[in-house]
Amino acid sequence: MNRILKFIAVLLAAVILLGVIGAALLPRVIDPNQYRDEITRLVYEQSGLKVSINGPIDWSIFPWVGLSLKDVSVAGANNSHLAQLGSAGVSVKLIPLISKRIEMQTLELTGLELTLVKNTKGEGNWQVSAPKPTEQPTPRGQEPSPTPESEPASPVRLDIASVNVNGLLISYEDRVSGQKYIIDQASLTTGAIRNQQPFDFQLKAHITIPDLVINSLISGKMTFNLEAGHYDIQDLKVSATPDVEKGESLSIVGNVQYQQTPMLLKGNLGVAEFNLANLLNQIKVQLPPMADPKALNRLSFDSHFSTNGESLNADKLQLQLDSFTLDGNFRMNSIDRGDMQFSFTGNDLNLDNYLPPAMDNAEVPDEEQPAQSGSGQPASGKEHPLIPEAMLRGLNLDGSMKLASLTVAKFIFEQPSVSIKAARGKQEVTIGSRFYQGTIDMTSNLDVRRSGKPKMAASAELKNISLEALSTAIPDLASLQGDVNAGMKVHTQGQYASVLTKNLNGNIEFKIDKGLFTDANFDKMVCEGIAKVRKKELSATDWGSSTEFTDLSGSFVIKNGVANNDNLIAALAYMNLKGDGYVNLVDRQLDYRMGLNIRGEEAPDSDPACQINKEYVNVTWPVRCHGDLGDLKCGVDVRRLTETIAEIAENRLKQKIEDKVQGPVKDLLKGFFK
């Protein structure tokens, strides 16, 4: 028995020795270079690509199945140059392959160049087809053998020492658009790649696109399970930096998990804080002028998301733009349709910082009425479009937002609640907010279906708004105080501020309680007018500079940017006020006439120079305010005052005639009815 066992052991040793000797000698006996033509033919039959192996082919059998190639070129459609490979080398351990375990040494690839070209017909040089195989006839009387059912494949297990790819260059030229893109200086390195074990990877590339060069980097730590179809990337970092001095880097960081069946992608991704304005400037994206020179200097983003390829759910979103922060959630029920739903809360948002800076009156373009020109375009290039039509036209969303405050066109909305709906080029925004010590409810509509001619409409209801507080946003109201209640319905169209103003139409109704004119004492104005007519000097000096009124109401009809009013009524302490006139919002001019009606037999301060008798009671005394909205001039309307005095004189003459006739007539009638 011992001899038999010894014989078997010797025999096995001999077989192994012969195998090792054969594996060592076989590569020396069989030269793989003699199979160049066969390899080229097989590649062509399978893919239609023409491969030329110009360098040597080396191989090994045991214990590693190794193959290395050098100087390989590939021709694409019409024999165009498609690819070039400097060298490639790979070695796989032989014995583990039997159990579907791939143990590989370092996979090396050097000098791979891909030249992709789309011609003027839109055809790519990589679009080739394998030749149709020649069908072999089935011998008569012999049926084709049925294809055996395949058994479930056992999972493949990977064990790769590392991957090292250097000198990768990919160029793409689109001769239809005339654009060319290049990825060069690219490299890929990894650690040991094994199932369910994390490994590091890093991909670098130098990217050239029209008018822009970017350095990019993708790195992280990956773990995968081929059998389950699970892939996990931790510490992911994707960065892109313009290839300029002090390039601003855009970095995406986070963790991602991917599941093949059923498809599921989830994780958290964020954008590290960066200077958006600086980055856009470096990649030659021209931004319009903004009121705040530091606008878009700070931007960061964080999210937690999941998607199955059909819908997207981001249950956590955090955005910081300069000093503004926003938190909430976002959902797309259908990625194909692009319908979006969201709910956000934020702190103070000042939209004015991102709008064009205010211009002096001299800089505002002198435009024709859009109705006359029909273009809706400014005559000067100093104005910038206010409405991003292309972006708004594609919106399909339904969302809400609550902020600590919102500033728009210098108006401050406190604790606003904003609801936004958009579909098929139409948007509706509803705002409910505290507004300058009162409340405001406003609905605005925007229609951008017609390119270049956006239409806007707004309606609002204001309650108990403090004019004194509101004057911080509208300095032209500084001369008026009180609590206002108002309703508004306006509409306009256009892309530029001046065009929007010229096209403004609608109506406004208002009522002001417990009001005060701070820059005009109408009592003094009337008394000065009376004294002037009587050719006397006023003795009083302390008149004050304001006029109180208990009620002021009226309405404006706005037509093409000009607001007209003919029913202004105010109840002052000692007189009533009626007014009519217009406010030209386009030219910022006002011309308004007010009539003061004195109640009583003398002026409020009883100055001897302006005392009036009973025939002046309830006479309307005219006052006029006119000029630029920022520099109004108010005073007695001399022309109307002259007409008033003439009317009084005429009434006095009539009264004297009546008195002369009335006596005898009364006596006659008295005698007649005795």
The predicted-structure confidence for 486-525, as pLDDT tens digits, reads as follows: 999 999 999 888 899 999 999 999 998 878 878 777 767 7
Tell me the pLDDT tens digit for each residue of 161-195: 899 999 999 999 999 989 999 999 999 999 999 88
Same domain, 525 and 594: yes
**Residue 74, in any domain of the structure:** no
437 and 496 both lie in a single domain: yes
**Cis omega before residue 63 (within 30°)?**
yes
pLDDT at 145: 54
Bridge partners of 221?
200, 234
Residue 588 inside a domain? The answer is: yes
- Assigned domain for 227 exists: no
Choice between 600 and 613, residue whose per-residue pLDDT is larger: 613
563 Cβ neighbours under 8 A, 6+ residues apart: 508, 556, 557, 582, 583, 585
Do 525 and 608 lie in one domain? The reply is yes
Please give the average per-residue pLDDT across 147-160, as a whole number.
Answer: 62
**Whose CA is closest to 512, among 546, 463, 547, 558?**
463
Task: Check: CB of residue 104 under 8 Å from CB of residue 161.
Answer: yes
Please name every residue paired with 439 in a beta bridge, in sequence order, or none if there are none. 434, 463
Above 80 in pLDDT, residue 643?
Answer: no
pLDDT band for position 216 (50/70/90)?
very high
381 in any annotated domain: yes
Indicate whether 474 and 363 sit together in one domain. yes
Confidence of residue 619 (pLDDT cuts 50, 70, 90): low
Predicted pLDDT of residue 508: 94
pLDDT score, position 106? 80
Ramachandran angles phi, psi of 640, nearest 5°? -70, -35
CB atoms within 10 A of CB 236: 18
pLDDT digits (tens, 9 = 90+) for 316-326: 999 999 999 99
Q: 489 and 554 share a domain?
A: no
Residues 458 and 535 in one domain: no
Paired tokens of 634: 């108010």
**pLDDT at residue number 201:** 96
CA nearest neighbour of 583 among 491, 508, 486 = 508
Closest CA to 595 of 620, 617, 618: 620
SS (H, E, C) 219-275: EEEEEEECCCCEEEEEEEEEEEEECCCCCCCEEEEEEEEEECCCCEEEEEEEEEEEC
Average the pLDDT over each of 43-52, 261-270, 414-423, 612-621 and give the range with the smallest value.
612-621
Q: In this structure, are residues 447 and 425 in contact, taking their beta carbons and an 8 Å threshold?
A: yes
Per-residue pLDDT at 344 exceeds 60:
yes
Nearest to 615 by CA among 596, 639, 598: 598
Q: Are residues 520 and 435 in the same domain?
A: no
State pLDDT tens for residues 110-124. Answer: 999 999 999 998 899
User: What's the rounded mean pLDDT across residues 632-649?
Assistant: 69
Let me know whether 469 and 544 are in one domain.
no
What value does the mean pLDDT of the chain take? 81
Between CA 110 and CA 163 the distance in angstroms is 11
Question: What pLDDT is stored for residue 661 in this prediction?
Answer: 46
Q: Considering the domain boundaries, does residue 585 fall inside one?
A: yes
Q: Can you give the residue range of the structural domain that contains 489?
A: 359-503
**Together in a domain, 417 and 543:** no
Higher pLDDT among residues 380 and 564, named by residue: 564
- pLDDT average, residue stretch 62-81: 84
Residue at 514 is within a domain: yes
Which residue did the predictor score with more confidence, 668 or 446?
446
The pLDDT of residue 263 is above 80: yes
- Other Cβ atoms within 10 Å of 377 Cβ, number: 19
Residue 119 lies in a domain: no
Same domain, 474 and 499: yes
Q: Kindly report, residue by residue over 290-336, the tens digit of the pLDDT.
A: 999 999 999 999 999 999 999 999 999 999 999 999 999 999 998 88
Looking at the structure, tell me whether residues 597 and 489 fall in a common domain: no
Taking only the tens place, the pLDDT of each residue in 531-554 is 777 777 777 777 777 877 777 889
Residue 459 belongs to some domain of the structure: yes
Domain boundary (476, 503, 530) is at 503
Domain shared by 576 and 488, yes or no: no
Domain boundary (480, 503, 526) is at 503
Please tell me the distance from the alpha carbon of residue 369 to that of residue 367, in angstroms, as a whole number.
6
Asked if pLDDT for residue 128 goes beyond 80, the answer is yes
Q: In the predicted model, is pLDDT for residue 376 greater than 90?
A: no
Q: State how far the Cα of 86 lies from the Cα of 109, in Å rounded to an integer.
A: 8
Question: Which position has the higher pLDDT, 244 or 9?
Answer: 244
Which of the two residues, 615 and 53, has the higher pLDDT score? 53
Q: Into how many domains does the chain fold?
A: 2
The domain boundary residue, chosen from 503, 529, 553 = 503
How long a stretch of residues is the chain? 674
